[in-house]
């Protein structure tokens, strides 16, 4: 039996990190939104590591925040330790990472969602998408209810036909002991959406009271916590430490002896796993010259004994897992609370998506998160936010929000997956970004706040603060440019005191700040007209001046890049009809239907000669049309 469950503008399937952002964005933009989850206790669940951020990922969180998403605020409110990574390197690769209190993280996000006007959260398993004339019309759930909608966003994570593998034991299951979603895959396939099978895994959780932390190296957080959200003023918490320990010969011996019992090696698991999260057996087998591997011990929260053992994910049988964990110093008596497992799941081919994350051939149907083949909470949340915004934009008949590769990590992420396709779970990395120096985590607000504001996700007050910061920074840079000091004996004495070398001619403070040993704060001794700047304004001034030359170089590259992105290609082109195009190129172009010359040139298998042929063809069409119009 089916029944009408109600009418919504937007239905979001799945309340993980993608679904939460998607639903919140849609509701905050004023659209009536329904958020479905297979289990109300799994909202914003972190089934793998208990941390948010890290290299590349920290950038994503800051960008989500600048656009008006929730992840940054949520982790700021629930973190138990924080660290800025890569501080020994330059500002472009500084990355924030915080340990979360997992349960607290979930509770806070659930509370935010529950109290969001226009948004209803329901425990229901979506089983079918309802399509009429190439348009989404509703979502059906296991109990028979049909929720009519004008747009739907599928954020099904790793639940689709989820299969859990622990050594020789395997069963249908979702992450963290939850039920899998066994029906939706079929409905997607029936609507022409091809699926592929990916795999990921997670280590065991062990009981803190069974560990001996004295045998491990303590890892504390930073003294001063820098928040993720540009709205969070400061964070004052008692931080909880993590620990570091190592595997050893004995660990490796056990793995070698039992490798034939690993489904990764005996052919049981066929899904493609991420190289970014190799299992311990993969590490030992592939790098057998390494005599030890790092193990990071991370608490899962303040009110639990559960400890996440980073570096020990495995799909070996449970008995082997226990043996090998117990070889590690400090874990000799480790008691398992949850076993390590591998999970296989269905995901789509993201090349079927537009940059808005809408499916190319079904109107109003969006996809975000691990269903698109990505891995990671942050990658999921970033896509969720964009899908949420664009579902609304679609309903309002407005242009979608599409961030390009020179604007945001989010832009790189989406462009990569929809243009290049993926054959393993996709993780954000700073080296994927060609304009890394411009896309810093420190300037995410400057890059993206206006876009969040225009979408209606950033309020007036915050927008005004953003404008103030922007002006303050610009003015201060101007001022430093015109503020010169003379090579007087007094000034040069100060220079030496500051650990620098004397100046030979009059120099602006701008020039002096470019010296590697100089900081904005140090220059105060020369500067009696200095305005009061807060730390993030100072940071901007300093970074923008110190790396000015390199930033300019990248900006020049971006200009070229933008020109090509703006050369649009009609999306109804049948490339196989272009006679001069090689078959391989024509097929690839037909599958992806790039929107611009820039995007087309990034498709693998499309050569410069193909691009030239395409240009000639487009010019030919243009002239034909002009002639027809005359």
CB of 132 to another protein, least distance (A): 40
Residues 353 and 626: their CA atoms lie apart, in Å, by 31
Residue 82 contacts another protein per CB under 8 A: no
Q: Which H or E run includes 170?
A: strand 169-172
Contacts 24+ apart (CB under 8 A), 525-531: 525/494, 525/498, 526/485, 526/491, 526/494, 527/483, 529/479, 529/483, 531/472, 531/475, 531/476, 531/479
Please choose, out of 126-134, 154-162, 171-179, 579-587, the segment that lies near another protein by the rule CB under 8 A: 579-587
Residue 333 contacts another protein per CB under 8 A: no
CB of 393 to another protein, least distance (A): 29
Residues 547 and 94: their CA atoms lie apart, in Å, by 14
Residue 256 contacts another protein per CB under 8 A: no
Question: How is the chain split among helix, strand and coil, in percent rounded to 5?
Answer: 40, 20, 40
Using CB under 8 A as the binding rule, the residues of this chain from 423 to 482 that contact another protein are: 429-432, 436-437
Residues 568 and 412: their CA atoms lie apart, in Å, by 18
CB of 307 to another protein, least distance (A): 14
Identify which of residues 494 and 582 has a Cβ nearer to another protein in the complex. Answer: 582
Please choose, out of 89-97, 343-351, 389-397, 495-503, the segment that lies near another protein by the rule CB under 8 A: 89-97
Letters for 345-374 (x = contact with another protein by CB under 8 A, - = none) are ------------------------------
Residue 552 contacts another protein per CB under 8 A: no
Residues 558 and 552: their CA atoms lie apart, in Å, by 10
Q: 303 near 151, Cβ under 8 Å?
A: no
Identify which of residues 209 and 627 has a Cβ nearer to another protein in the complex. Answer: 627
Identify which of residues 57 and 326 has a Cβ nearer to another protein in the complex. Answer: 57
564-566-570-573 Cα dihedral, nearest 10 degrees: 10
Identify which of residues 51 and 185 has a Cβ nearer to another protein in the complex. Answer: 51
Identify which of residues 393 and 436 has a Cβ nearer to another protein in the complex. Answer: 436
> Would you give the distance in Å from CA 342 to the centre of its chain?
22
Residue 248 contacts another protein per CB under 8 A: no
Residue 504 contacts another protein per CB under 8 A: no
CB of 396 to another protein, least distance (A): 34
Question: b/e string for 232-269 if b means 16 or more Cβ within 10 A?
Answer: beebeeebbbbbebbbeeebbebbeebbebbbbbeeeb
Identify which of residues 384 and 598 has a Cβ nearer to another protein in the complex. Answer: 598
What is the chain's alpha carbon radius of gyration, rounded to the nearest angstrom? 26
CB of 164 to another protein, least distance (A): 19
Q: Which strands sit side by side in the sheet containing 341-348, from one edge to the other?
A: 169-172, 163-166, 341-348, 195-202
Q: 389 near 29, Cβ under 8 Å?
A: yes
CB of 224 to another protein, least distance (A): 18
Residues contacting residue 16 through CB under 8 Å, at least 6 positions apart: 42, 44, 45, 155, 157, 369, 370, 377, 380
H helices present in 267-405, as ranges: 280-286, 318-325, 377-395
Q: 284 near 249, Cβ under 8 Å?
A: no
Identify which of residues 292 and 396 has a Cβ nearer to another protein in the complex. Answer: 292
What is residue 142's DSSP assignment?
T
Residues 218 and 251: their CA atoms lie apart, in Å, by 22
Task: For residue 6, give the 3-state DSSP assignment.
Answer: strand
Q: Which H or E run includes 299?
A: strand 294-299
Residue 501 contacts another protein per CB under 8 A: no
Identify which of residues 396 and 624 has a Cβ nearer to another protein in the complex. Answer: 624
User: Which listed residue (90, 329, 450, 456) binds another protein by CB under 8 A?
Assistant: 90
Q: For residue 310, list its beta bridge partners.
A: 296
User: Which listed residue (15, 92, 334, 401) binds another protein by CB under 8 A?
Assistant: 92
- Residue with tokens 């004495």, as numbered in its chain: 493
Identify which of residues 7 and 294 has a Cβ nearer to another protein in the complex. Answer: 294
Residue 619 contacts another protein per CB under 8 A: yes
Identify which of residues 573 and 615 has a Cβ nearer to another protein in the complex. Answer: 615
Q: Which H or E run includes 102?
A: helix 102-114
Residue 623 contacts another protein per CB under 8 A: yes
Q: How many residues bind another protein (CB under 8 A)?
A: 63
Letters for 128-157 (x = contact with another protein by CB under 8 A, - = none) are ------------------------------
Using CB under 8 A as the binding rule, the residues of this chain from 29 to 58 that contact another protein are: 49, 55-56
Letters for 259-298 (x = contact with another protein by CB under 8 A, - = none) are ---------------xxxxx----x--xx--x-xxx-x--
Residues 499 and 518: their CA atoms lie apart, in Å, by 8
Contact positions vs another protein (CB under 8 A) = 49, 55-56, 85-86, 88-93, 274-278, 283, 286-287, 290, 292-294, 296, 310-311, 313, 429-432, 436-437, 516-517, 547, 550, 554, 560-561, 563-564, 567, 579-580, 582, 597, 601, 604, 607-609, 611-613, 615-617, 619-620, 623-624, 627
């Amino acid at each position: 039996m089916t029944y009408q469950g109600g009418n919504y503008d937007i239905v979001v399937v799945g309340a993980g990190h993608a679904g939460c952002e998607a639903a919140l964005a849609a509701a905050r933009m004023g659209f009536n939104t329904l958020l479905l989850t297979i289990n109300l206790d799994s909202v914003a669940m972190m089934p793998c590591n208990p941390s948010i951020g890290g290299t590349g990922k920290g950038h994503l969180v800051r960008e989500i925040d600048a656009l008006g998403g929730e992840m940054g605020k949520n982790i700021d409110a629930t973190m138990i330790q924080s660290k800025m990574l890569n501080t020994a390197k330059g500002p472009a690769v500084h990355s924030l990472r915080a340990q979360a209190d997992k349960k607290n993280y979930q509770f806070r996000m659930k509370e935010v969602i529950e109290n969001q006007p226009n948004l209803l959260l329901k425990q229901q398993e979506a089983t079918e998408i309802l399509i009429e004339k190439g348009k989404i019309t509703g979502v059906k759930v296991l109990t028979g209810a049909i929720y009519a909608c004008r747009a739907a966003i599928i954020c099904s994570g790793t639940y689709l036909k989820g299969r859990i593998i622990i050594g020789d034991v395997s069963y249908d299951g979702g992450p963290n002991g939850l039920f899998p979603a066994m029906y939706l895959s079929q409905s997607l396939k029936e609507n022409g959406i091809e699926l592929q099978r990916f795999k990921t895994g997670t280590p065991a959780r062990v009981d803190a009271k069974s560990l001996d932390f004295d045998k491990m190296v303590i890892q504390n957080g930073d003294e001063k916590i820098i928040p993720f959200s540009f709205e969070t003023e400061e964070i004052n918490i008692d931080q909880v430490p993590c620990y570091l320990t190592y595997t050893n010969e004995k660990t490796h011996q056990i793995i070698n002896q039992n490798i034939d019992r690993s489904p990764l090696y005996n052919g049981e698991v066929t899904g493609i796993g991420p190289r970014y999260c190799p299992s311990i057996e993969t590490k030992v087998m592939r790098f057998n010259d390494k005599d030890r591997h790092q193990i990071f011990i991370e608490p899962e929260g303040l009110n639990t004994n559960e400890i996440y053992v980073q570096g020990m994910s495995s799909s070996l049988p449970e008995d082997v897992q226990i043996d090998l964990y117990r070889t590690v110093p400090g874990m000799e008596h480790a008691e398992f609370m949850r076993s390590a497992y591998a999970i296989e799941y269905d995901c789509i081919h993201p090349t079927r998506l537009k940059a808005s994350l809408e499916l190319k051939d079904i109107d109003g149907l969006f996809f975000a998160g691990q269903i698109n083949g990505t891995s990671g909470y942050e990658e999921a949340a970033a896509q969720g936010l964009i899908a949420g915004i664009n579902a609304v934009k679609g309903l309002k008949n407005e242009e979608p929000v599409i961030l390009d590769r020179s604007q945001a990590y989010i832009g790189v992420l989406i462009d990569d997956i929809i243009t290049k396709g993926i054959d393993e779970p996709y993780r954000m990395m700073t080296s994927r970004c060609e304009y890394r120096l411009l896309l810093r985590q420190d300037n995410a607000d400057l890059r993206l706040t206006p876009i969040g504001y225009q979408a209606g996700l950033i309020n007036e007050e915050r927008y005004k603060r953003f404008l103030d910061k922007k002006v303050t920074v610009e003015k201060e840079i101007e001022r430093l440019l015109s503020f010169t000091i003379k090579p007087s004996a007094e000034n040069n004495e100060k220079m030496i005191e500051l650990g620098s070398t004397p100046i030979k001619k009059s120099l602006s403070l701008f020039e002096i700040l470019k010296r590697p040993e100089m900081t904005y704060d140090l220059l105060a001794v020369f500067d009696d007209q200095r305005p009061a700047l807060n730390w993030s304004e100072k940071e901007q001034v300093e970074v923008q001046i110190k790396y000015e030359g390199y930033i300019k170089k990248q900006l020049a590259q971006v200009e070229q890049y933008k020109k090509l992105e703006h050369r649009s290609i009609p999306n109804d082109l049948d490339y196989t009809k272009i006679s001069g195009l090689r078959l391989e190129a024509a097929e690839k172009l037909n599958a992806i239907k790039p929107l611009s010359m820039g995007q087309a040139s990034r498709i693998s298998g499309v050569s410069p000669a193909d691009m030239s042929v395409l240009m000639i063809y487009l010019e030919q069409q243009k002239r034909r049309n002009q002639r027809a119009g005359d």
